[in-house]
Structure 1
Amino acid sequence: MVSLNWLNGDAAQLFGQHVMWSDALGNMMGLVGLVLGQRRSVWTWPAQLAAGIVLLAAYTSAHLISGVIKQLLALGVAAWGWRQWHRGPRDDAGRITVRLGTRRERLLLTAGAAAGILAAGALFRLCPGLSWRPWLDAFFLIGTLIAMVAQSRGLVECWLAWLLVDLVGVPLAFSNGLAFSGLVFALYFVLNLHGGHDWWLRAHPRGHLRSPPGGPPALTPAPEIALPPADATAEETDHGHTRRS
C-alpha cells in the first residue's frame, strides 16, 4: 500500500508557518469547486469530493479520528449534492437552475443548523480529543454541511451559510497554524459574495429587469393606455354634432 504520509509533509512556508500538502491541495481543489458552483456547473461536486478525499487521506494517515469523521460527513453530503444536481432542473445552457428557498425550507435549515451546532458542540466538549475549540469547530462543521445541503437544492441561501462559515474559518485556520487555509478562506469570502449576488439576480422575480454590472440601465416597460372602443367613440361624436360630412 502506498504511504500517504507525504500529504502531511511541508509543501511551503507562509508567514513563518508550515503549509502541508494536504492543506494546499485540498484548499485549491475547494477553490475550483467554489468557482464551478458559482457557474452552476455540476462539476462543482466532483471537485468538492476530490478535496474531501485528499483531506480524508491525510487525516487517516495521521490517525486523526475527528478529521476522518468530519470528512466522511462532508463526502456523504457532496455525493448526495452531485446526485441532486444531476436530477435537478436545468436552463437552456445545461446549468442548474437556482431559486430562493421557501419559508419552510429556511426554517428547516435554521433549525437544523441550531440543533446540529448544539449537538456537535456538546459532543466535542464531552470528547476533548475530537476538538480543541468545541463550539467554533461545531459551528464550522455544521455550517459547512448546511451550506452544502442548501447548495445541493439550488437555494440562494447557501451563499449566506458559506459566508458565515468563512467568518469563522479565517480566524480558526490562523489560530490552528494553517496560514494558507486562512488566506484561502478570506478569498472564499470575496468569491462567495460574488456568487451570492449572481444567484440572487438569477433567482429574484425581478432579476431579469436589472441591468448587468457596467451596462446601460434597464428599460422599464411603458404603461399601457386603455382606449375606448371604436363604436363608443363614434356614438359620442354623433351626439356632440362634431362629425363632418
Structure 2
Amino acid sequence: MPTLSYQGTCALITGASSGLGAEFARQWAERGADVVLVARRLDRLETLAEDLRKKYGVAATPLAADLAAPGAGAALREALDARGTIVQTLINNAGFGSHGAFLEQDPAEISRMIQLNVGAVADVTRAFLPQLTAEGRGALVTVASTAAYQPTPAMAVYGATKAFVLSLTEALAYETRGSGLRVLAVSPGPVDTEFFDVVGTRDAMVGNVATPADVVAATRRALEGRRTPPSVVAGLGNRLSARAAQLAPRRLALAAAGRALKA
C-alpha cells in the first residue's frame, strides 16, 4: 500500500468546530493538507480556518452544515463539486452522546443522535467513497469509541451508534482493499473536549482522559504504518479494557459497563 499522502491533498473533516475535529484539522494542515471544515457553528469554523491559513499556508474552507438533515452527504458533495474541490481524505468526527436511562431520554434527542452518529456517517461516506477510492492516496477515518465494544447502560443509544460505526468501517476496510485508500475506525476513551459538557455529567468519564492531540497522533500512527489496521483503540489502558470486554462473557461485560457508567 502506498504511503499516506498529506501534501497536495484535501481532507474533509466533520465536527471540525472544536475538540477532536479541530485537532484533526490542525495536524493535517500542519503536514500540508488543505482542509474543508464542516460543522453547524460557522463562526468557529471561520476562526479556525483563518488560523490554519496563517500558520500553515494551506487552503481552509469553512462550510456550515447540519449533517443530521436528510441528504446532507449528497448536498455536501454537490457543494464541493461546484467549487472544484476533490477530497482525498474524509474524517467522520461529528457526533454526540447523552447519559441517563433510555426511558427517561427525550425521543427527539434519541432520533437526532442516531441520525448524526449513524445516518450522517453512512450518508457522507457513501457520497464521497467513490472519489476517495478513485484517488486512492488518502484515508477514510471514522471516530468510534471504546463504548462500541460492549453494551453501555446509561449511554445505551450512544454505545449502539458507535458499535455501528466500528462495524461499518471495518467492513469498508475490507471492501476497499486494493484501492490504496486507508480505512480506519479509531476508538478513544474519554477525551478532554466539549463532549462531556453536552452529555451533561462526568459520570460517563470512564478511564484515563486523553487530549485531542493524543487521539489524533494515535490515528496518524495507525494510518502511516505499512499496513493500516481496520480499527484501533487509542491508549494502552483503553485497548486492554476493550479486549477484556470482548473476551469476557457478555453478561459480565454488561454488568461491568453498567457499574462504571453509574447506570
Q: TM-score range by the shorter chain?
A: under 0.3
More helix as a share of residues:
1
More strand as a share of residues:
2
TM-score, structure 2 normalization: 0.27
Which structure has the bigger radius of gyration? 1
- Greater relative contact order: 1 or 2 (C-alpha under 8 angstroms, separation 6 or more)? 2
